[in-house]
Amino acid sequence: MSATASALVQKVWNYAHVMRDDGLSFMDYTEQITFLLFLKMAYEREQLGLENVIPGKYNWAALKKESGDPLEVQYSKTLRELGRLPGLLGIIFAKAQNKITDPAKLERLISMIDSENWAGLDMDVKGEIYEGLLARNAEDVRGGAGQYFTPRPIIRAIVQVMRPEPTMRIADPACGTGGFLLAAYEYLVKSNPSLDRKPQRFINEEALHGTDIVPSVTRLCAMNLYLHGLGGSDRTIVETADSLAKRPAVVDMVLTNPPFGKKSSITVINDEGKRETEKIYYERQDFWATTSNKQLNFVQNVYSMLTETGTAAVVVPDNVLFEAGAGEKIRRALLERCDVHTLLRLPTGIWYSPGVKANVLFFDKKPAAKTPWTKELWVYDLRTNRNFTLRQNPIADEDLKEFVQCYQTAKRSKREESERFKRFSYTDLMARDKANLDIFWLKDDSLADTENLPKPAVLAAEIVEDLEEALEEFRAVEQQLERSSELPESQQVQPTTDHGAAESSGMDTIVVPAHEDSFQKTFLGENRWHAIRVHASRIAQIKYIAAYRGRPTSAITHVAPVATIEPWQGGSKYVVNFARPANPTGPLKHVPGGAVPPLRGSRYTSYTKLMQATNLDEAF
């Protein structure tokens, strides 16, 4: 960063701590800076005789002349009215609110921004300043935008090996603050200095497109691109939307770092006034598997986004490489239908969320074929025995230089193995359990050297993640016990840890609520049932699986013998494989007013009782 940009970042950011004393988070502060900076720059353009998109009664001059309470009123009204306008203004000021409640501090902030001549700064310097503010904001782990900020050396290395071309359409379906879009633009401009006006206009207005589901992040992205000279036309480069909600428009290249997190879910209050978590599933015909794991959904979405010869680089957490069930199905489909040629194992310590373990998956989409397109996967291990921190030892471009050289973008056939770069054939990959791509071979010195253990924050984050998973299991047990306690004592589920006792109980059938929107597809379309919560002590006794449907009428409609039961995600959940389900003599309809409430979790019964029952009360 230049000295000018660094000094201005420090000047603007120093005031953030003053605002923090009033309860304003760094994310909120960055938003307010974005609003005021855009107003000031638009006004400066007007003073230079250029077009000003801000209506006169809401411009910088109208704001600057006020003070005290009238200033707060004018600022709030300005944000509200500009958010109703189309185009870039509508994105940057969408649902904007004044969060600076002290008029004196608002006036001081306006004065600070007004003291600089932003129009006189070079475009690169303005971009550097805003990128610097975003980086400072990301450092605030409590309320910043760290989850939306990918380390820039990682982004630059990815773009360098992907080599976007001027005629390509490039997209990021989880654009965050715009790092990938901006790096792609800078690469295109620097690599093609003699472009004619038409291709240059295509790059500026049509080549790039970003989407993010969070409006406040989309605004940061739009401002970041605008300050770098992008997105000022009527066509907006970024939009606020759920990328997974529908099949996307096709593009030539996808560069993205989808949000990390285990599951897509919402918390609701049930009829009894208690909290329940409902997973969000995306039902799309172009997806290979239905799952609530949003990283796996993003991988499927990226594949759908690509043209038949499109290319992609996707940052994914470790679980995408080894997760069973839907994860395995998606990996196998990707290896068959694409040339999945490179995997970069990223180091820990480079993310603003401690403990994150991630990778970059590089693949090229291919036309339909009878044989798998992936012939070999090259894995570069930048994680083992590499120690980085955000402050003392941040990752830099130099740290990725060897990977860029090994990648051999121009001719991948010339690749050569090294200590950190290894080749694995398609046969090797298929021989691994569940097509597991979490591959490593270097000895981790930290495992034998207690003095080089991960940072306490990293260990703490991993422990918290494990505890949250355990708590989720306990909540499920609690809900099941609460529902069971509502039944007569003879029908209540009794805990047991003894296999013999479990088997002798005769409860050899597990009844599983089917996801209503995909009942036929999930239960009848595949010979497996995903992620069933079941205590390990019951595994040996389960011989049948039954499907419970809540609507249009409560009923158990299908029963099938179990073939195998496989552990999933550490053994707290299981994948049940079964033979093609057979319909029992007739559907077992729920009798209104019966003792059994609608099922929200798995229940146990005996196959004999289930076959003889004429209603759900008798089934349990």
Average pLDDT, stretch 377-394? 89
Give the pLDDT band of residue 379 (cuts 50, 70, 90).
Answer: very high
**pLDDT tens digits for range 223-243:** 888 877 787 656 789 999 999
Q: What DSSP state is assigned to residue 142?
A: T
Asked whether the predicted pLDDT for residue 448 surpasses 70, the reply is no
Asked whether the predicted pLDDT for residue 590 surpasses 80, the reply is no
Give the pLDDT band of residue 7 (cuts 50, 70, 90).
Answer: confident
In this prediction, residue 371 carries a pLDDT of 95
Average pLDDT, stretch 208-226? 87
The label of the residue with tokens 């005629």 reads 167
In this prediction, residue 267 carries a pLDDT of 39
Which of 212-226, 249-263, 519-533 has the least mean pLDDT?
A: 519-533
Average of per-residue pLDDT values in the chain? 78
Asked whether the predicted pLDDT for residue 422 surpasses 90, the reply is yes
**pLDDT tens digits for range 472-481:** 557 656 655 6
Asked whether the predicted pLDDT for residue 344 surpasses 50, the reply is yes
Adjacent-strand bridge partners of 564: 577
- Amino acid, single-letter form, for residue 412: R
Cis preceding linkage at 372, omega within 30 = no
**pLDDT tens digits for range 140-168:** 544 444 455 688 899 999 999 999 999 99
Q: Where are the beta strands (DSSP E) in 52-109?
A: none
Asked whether the predicted pLDDT for residue 519 surpasses 70, the reply is no
Q: How far apart are CA 195 and CA 245, in angstroms?
A: 37
Asked whether the predicted pLDDT for residue 492 surpasses 80, the reply is no
Asked whether the predicted pLDDT for residue 452 surpasses 70, the reply is no
Q: How far apart are CA 319 and CA 316, in angstroms?
A: 8
Asked whether the predicted pLDDT for residue 178 surpasses 70, the reply is yes
Residue 298's nearest CA partner among 240, 376, 213, 237 is 213
DSSP 98-162: -----HHHHHHHHHHHHTS-GGGS-HHHHHHHHHHHHHHHHT-TTTS-GGG---HHHHHHHHHHH
Report, in angstroms and rounded to the nearest whole number, the Rg of the chain calculated over CA atoms. 28
Angle between helices 179-191 and 152-162 (to 10 degrees): 50
- Higher pLDDT: 569 or 496? It is 569
Q: How far apart are CA 547 and CA 545, in angstroms?
A: 7
Asked whether the predicted pLDDT for residue 352 surpasses 60, the reply is yes
- Higher pLDDT: 28 or 383? It is 383
Give the percent of the chain with pLDDT over 70: 68
- Higher pLDDT: 452 or 564? It is 564
Domain boundaries, the chain: 3-138, 146-451, 491-619
Which of 62-66, 165-169, 500-504 has the least mean pLDDT?
A: 500-504
Residue 597 and residue 483 in contact, taking contact as beta carbons nearer than 8 Å: yes
In this prediction, residue 176 carries a pLDDT of 86
DSSP 459-492: HHHHHHHHHHHHHHHHHHHHHHHHHHHTS-GGGS
Architecture per CATH, 146-451: 3-Layer(aba) Sandwich (3.40)
Q: Where are the beta strands (DSSP E) in 58-180?
A: 170-172
Adjacent-strand bridge partners of 422: 379
Question: How many other CB atoms are there within 10 angstroms of residue 91's CB atom?
Answer: 23
Give the pLDDT band of residue 516 (cuts 50, 70, 90).
Answer: very low
What three-state secondary structure class fits 308? strand
- What superfamily does domain 3-138 belong to in CATH? N6 adenine-specific DNA methyltransferase, N-terminal domain (1.20.1260.30)
Q: Which fold has domain 491-619?
A: ph1033 like fold (3.10.590)
- Higher pLDDT: 434 or 530? It is 434
Residue 144's nearest CA partner among 351, 389, 358 is 351
Give the pLDDT band of residue 50 (cuts 50, 70, 90).
Answer: confident
